[in-house]
Structure 1
Amino acid sequence: MKSISIIIPAKNEESGLAEILPKLRKHFPDSEIIVVSDGSSDSTGEVARSHRTRVISHPYSMGNGAAIKSGARTASGDILVFMDADGQHDPEDISSLISKYNEGYDMVVGSRHNNSQASLGRSYANKIYNKLASWMVGRKIDDLTSGFRVASAERFREFIYLLPNGFSYPTTITMSFFRAGYPVAYIPIHAKTRQGKSHISPLHDGIRFLLIIFKVGTLYSPLKIFLPFSLSFFATGLGYYIYTYITLHRFTNMSGLLFTTSVLIFLIGLVSEQITNLLYSRGNQR
């Protein structure tokens, strides 16, 4: 039977840990539980140790993603379970995630209901992220930013170097699994109201999420990014040429510049796509 490691990143989450750790010990008495204290200034570490968990302490706050990476690197289990320390994720849902995982998936994500989102604005933002990421990887993504998931330790560590240190690690790992062809499943969960104050900045981290989506998209499927820009420049150039041909009866320098830019962007995307394919081919051979 495969062993399980439960990884919980925590920054000043003593109250949340005091609630979820006893439940985890009750439902998973033989599993390894790792709490990564990310520069906490409260009793996060002491609370975790009092429940017989392994504690990794960062000397200062390095970010949620950095805590995830620290936990994943030191975990001994074959299956990694990631959950938040703020009380939003119910430990009883882990059994459902693992049951789905055992059907042959490499990662199973807890997909939050709309009424589980922290705010209406964040709910709409997540829908936009989900649609954009789904288009990037060519698969439907139900909840791109959910931090509640089960994954194969071996598969997860393949992409650990890609994970950012901030709050967008779920975005990167989800898109990486999909684009690499590893099976991913979603099961619905109900996230509770978090305890304490959120460490996420809606504007700053929202922009970062979008950048992560585009960065991962250009890493795995460059033409998905470059082709729309190329076509937009081509369409603009064609429209401007038609306008100047009707009004001035000639081909202008601006039309030539737009057409040239369109071709250059397409060629850059094409070369990037070939480089990506070569990297994947070499990775598969290894």
Structure 2
Amino acid sequence: MNPYISIIIPAYNEEDKIKDTLENIRNISEINEIVVVDDGSSDNTTKIASEVKDDKIKVFKLDKNRGKGYALNYGLEIAMKNADIIGFLDGDLGSSSNEVKKLITPILNNEADVIIAKFPPAKKKGGLGFVKGLAKDSVLELTGVELDATLSGQRIFKREVLEQFNEIPFGYGVEVGMTIDILKKGYTIKEVLVNMTHSETGRDLKGFIHRGKQYYHIKKVLRAKKKEWR
């Protein structure tokens, strides 16, 4: 019997990309359910997502913007009812969302407990590498495992891994915190190179503010994890 696979897509103001993101995964035969959680968008994300007609797709809208962690937890409550395998995908992947097939295959082949998408190099210059370096070095320090894609939100999990978490952590440190916990609990992670693309933050004020928040949140998560796992 084939495992039941659910994909959770947290989306905030993604009216330009959400249709393409959904259209390019809904025909993947291994995927049984797609749970879109609109995180209180002020645009037409919910309307456009709902117009993609497929029995696999379930669209929910939160009453206000509550953050990615909250949206993922909301989606998990729905997905955990049936799923053996659960994936997280961002809503802004557009047509490159079909690359999720490269993540599904190794989890079905039991190559690891968690598969993380490793993106190609960014097309435009982003930050100075501080956030990525902090995440990578900290995971290595705490777990002894070297990973390149610790910040990637595109992940596929065996159900048993997610059952270890009472809830997904909130804030920009969610991926790093989860990665540390997963490895410390003895589960395995494999990175897979994909040709996914999504909205990139540049070297403008908005981009630096975003990365500043990321850095702060990751440092906060790391302080907690060092206490937790010492």
Identify which range, 208-217 or 143-152, moves more after superposition: 208-217
Q: Which runs of 5+ in 1 are unaligned?
A: 223-286
Change in 2 beyond 3 A, CA 1:195/1:174: closer
Aligned to 1:186: 191
Q: Return the TM-score normalized by structure 1.
A: 0.70
Q: Deviations over 1:249-268 (max 9, x none)?
A: xxxxxxxxxxxxxxxxxxxx
Alignment of 1:53-68 (within 5 A): 53-68=57-72
Preserved CA contact (<8 Å) 1:9 1:36: yes
Computing the radius of gyration from Cα coordinates, the structure with the larger value is 1
Post-superposition, which runs of at least 4 consecutive aligned residues in structure 1 deviate over 3 A? 117-120, 195-200
Alignment of 1:1-286 (within 5 A): 1-28=2-29, 31-51=32-52, 52=54, 53-75=57-79, 76-87=82-93, 90-104=96-110, 105-113=112-120, 115-116=121-122, 119-121=125-127, 123-161=129-167, 163-194=168-199, 201-220=210-229, 222=230
Amino acid at match of 2:176: T
Change in 2 beyond 3 A, CA 1:106/1:89: farther
Between the aligned partners of 1:17 and 1:56, the Cα distance in structure 2 is 13
Identify which range, 175-184 or 23-32, moves more after superposition: 23-32
Change in 2 beyond 3 A, CA 1:89/1:117: farther
- How far does residue 29 in structure 1 lie from its aligned partner after superposition? 7.7
Please state which structure has a larger fraction of its residues in helix.
Answer: 1
**Percent identical:** 23
Between the aligned partners of 2:113 and 2:36, the Cα distance in structure 1 is 23
Q: Which runs of 5+ in 2 are unaligned?
A: none
Preserved CA contact (<8 Å) 1:168 1:212: yes
Count of residue correspondences: 219
Q: Deviations over 1:196-229 (max 9, x none)?
A: 9989721122111121122123212x1xxxxxxx
- How far does residue 124 in structure 1 lie from its aligned partner after superposition? 4.2
Change in 2 beyond 3 A, CA 1:90/1:216: farther
- How far does residue 138 in structure 1 lie from its aligned partner after superposition? 1.6
CA RMSD of aligned residues (A): 2.4
- How far does residue 41 in structure 1 lie from its aligned partner after superposition? 1.2
Amino acid at match of 2:217: R
Aligned to 1:275: none
Q: Return the TM-score normalized by structure 2.
A: 0.85
